[in-house]
Amino acid sequence: MTSWLERVPSWFLPLAIGLALIAVPWYGTDPLWVRQLTLIAIYTMLVAGLNITFGYAGLLSLGQVAMFALGAYTTGILMIHGWSMLPSLAVAVAASGVIGLITGLPGLRLGGWGLGMTSFFLVLLIPDITQIFTKQTGGLFGLTAVPPATIGGHQLDKNEFYAVCTIAMVVVVALLRNLMRSSFGNSLRVLRRSPVLATSLGLNIHLLKAKAFVISSLPAGLGGGLVVSLDHYIAPTSFTLTLGVLIIAASVLGGSESIYGAFFGVAVIRLGTWQVTAFEKYSLVAYGLFLVLGGVFFSQGIAGLAERKAGRWHSARSRLKPPAGTRAAPRLRTQAPNVMPIPGSPLEVRGLTKHFQGNQALNDVSIAALPGQVTSLVGPNGSGKTTLLNLISGLYRPTAGEATLAGERLSGRPPHLVARRGVARTFQTPVLPDGMTVLEAVASARYAKDSVSIATTILRLPANRAAERSREAAARQALRRVGCEDLADQDASGLALGSRRRVEVARALAGNPHLILLDEPASGLDEGEVEELASVIRQVAAAGGTVLLVEHNFNMVCSVSDQIYVLESGRLLAQGTPDEIQRNQVVAESYLGQLPDADQLGAPIRAGE
């Protein structure tokens, strides 16, 4: 029996808080408090936009300040020329989106501090740009005599303007919350964890970053457009590095991976420093202190702390009142019932060669992998096994040769297009993003295939719900294949190694791939886990999958493989069935560390040789 609190939607409490905030001026609140709450609403939109790029995508960018300034100047200039507030805001938001895309272009190639320094340069340019356009902006003296805000010819008083700002904040937070709690938000998490993983799942990381920069700039432009109507004046001194540090500190303190956290972070900083007499003089130090304290004591911000507290409360209730019929989670199954067919396609590799700055990593290698079979690559470290997988999946471009899937060329194509063609893979070290459940991590394999528009996602239209149901069904089916369905609601990044490797296999299967590349999936597993994994691989092949396996565990390779290819120093040393490879003297010498003669490396040794 669940309580009414457990049945309340997650968005109900934030909406109730937002509606209560809108009515604050009519409680007889002091005008000074109304002004502070107005600034909190405006800065919340600015920080919420920052959380998209900084928190979710992991892109350190101070470009929000520049978009904030652009929105303010655009709105102020238009209102001075007789425009009312709403159309001025619309133009300001559109302009911020366009400039956000342009200024975000360095972020398509840069990351980390390189992007941070580039975006910081935009903030430094604000005074110079205002001086260049002094006639329009007022230069260093600022834009004065901005008329009061009007809507439909009605001039807004302070309380009405506050209500407009708060409504704008509630709408922005609600829409961004919908977007971030969707496949788009999870795609940004995948990108932050590993661009290589993102592209291997079929995500165009350049397009994904561009969307993130544009979307994050829109609320910044809106907030800037509103702030100019608060005091009817703006100057370059309003958009400095201090503001950049403020919004980053608010983001970290509130929770960078939470849209709701933007409000809490801004509220704590604004109200905590409001009546400090010497604050203006030491504001940069104060914001820096908030930033440090937030990073040290709130690893996931105030929002993360609240979420953990709520999770513990629900867990305690569950322990006190376990649902009827509750039982311990069963052990991972090694047999997956009702396995659906996998549409495997034949892979053919012809003469693949790869040189890295004169070093030969792979030389004239040709292999074939067929549907319904497990084809394995073995060889010592540095023999070129992972390089071959990277060439097939598009992460590397070949020096010579080609790889084809069902006759269609793969090699040389961008990796996200190779993935969309039906090539899925795992990695030597399991890559599972933080902040995602197992079900969400596995469903990420379907994001490129079951994509919907951002507008459809934000508005939660039927097409979005249909896509979510399709992804979830595919993810559960994939987890069922590997015997991990009972882990669906657990934190993916917190799993034990054996479970993480199985979840990676499930993610590879969720996209209904034509070719599955497994890169050392048994590494670090104990004997029982290796046997379970081997059973999963055999089931995948039996369902029709084309499996190309790279593995050092020779016993496992022999137990699951139909064909084995042996690489040595980037060349194909031998090929054959497991029995033939085990009887091959040259292969035995290679595994014992005894290199074969040069003439033996000239051509692969087949059965009977």
Domain spans, the chain: 10-237, 347-422+513-601
The β-bridge relationship of strands 347-356 and 400-405 is: antiparallel
Tokens for 560, please give them.
């699951």
The pLDDT of residue 17 is 81
Q: Which backbone phi and psi does 108 adopt, to 5 degrees?
A: -70, -25
Minimum mean pLDDT range among 130-134, 421-425, 473-477, 603-607: 603-607
347-422+513-601, CATH topology level: Rossmann fold (3.40.50)
Check pLDDT > 60 for residue 315: no
Contact predicate 223/136, CB 8 Å: no
Residue 233 exposed, middle or buried by CB count within 10 Å (0-12, 13-18, 19+): middle
Predicted pLDDT at 254: 86
Q: If DSSP codes are grouped into helix, strand and coil, which group holds residue 566? A: strand
User: pLDDT grade, residue 12 (50/70/90)?
Assistant: confident
Q: At what angle do helices 259-273 and 301-320 cross, to 10 degrees?
A: 120
Please tell me the pTM assigned to this model.
0.83
Q: What is the mean pLDDT of the chain?
A: 83
Q: Identify the burial level of 10 via C-beta atoms within 10 angstroms of its C-beta, where 0-12 means exposed, 13-18 middle and 19 or more buried.
A: exposed
The pLDDT of 143-152, averaged and rounded, is 87
**pLDDT for residue 29 is more than 90:** no
pLDDT in tens, 54-104: 889 888 777 788 899 999 999 999 999 989 999 999 999 999 999 888 877
Going by pLDDT thresholds of 50, 70 and 90, the confidence category of residue 270 is confident
In the block, tokens 């063609």 appear at 421
Q: Which of 194-203, 377-386, 600-609 ranks highest by mean pLDDT?
A: 194-203
- Residue 354 per-residue DSSP state: E
Which amino acid appears at position 115 of this protein?
A: L
Q: What is the largest CA-CA distance in the chain?
A: 94
CA 145 to chain CA mean position, Å: 44
> Which of 125-129, 395-399, 502-506 shows the lowest mean pLDDT across its residues?
125-129
pLDDT for position 43:
95
What pLDDT is recorded for position 268? 83
Share of the chain above pLDDT 70, in %: 81
Express each pLDDT in 219-252 by its tens digit.
999 999 999 999 888 988 888 877 888 888 888 8
Q: What is the pLDDT of residues 498-547, one digit of tens each?
A: 899 999 999 999 988 999 999 999 888 888 888 988 999 999 999 999 99
537-591 pLDDT, tens digit per residue, is 999 999 999 999 999 888 899 999 999 999 988 899 899 999 999 888 887 776 6
DSSP alpha helices (H): ranges in 23-111?
31-50, 63-80, 85-103
Residue 115 has pLDDT above 80, yes or no: no
Mean pLDDT of 166-170: 94
- Look at the block and give the residue holding tokens 């991972």: 332
217-226, 309-318, 401-410: range with lowest mean pLDDT: 309-318
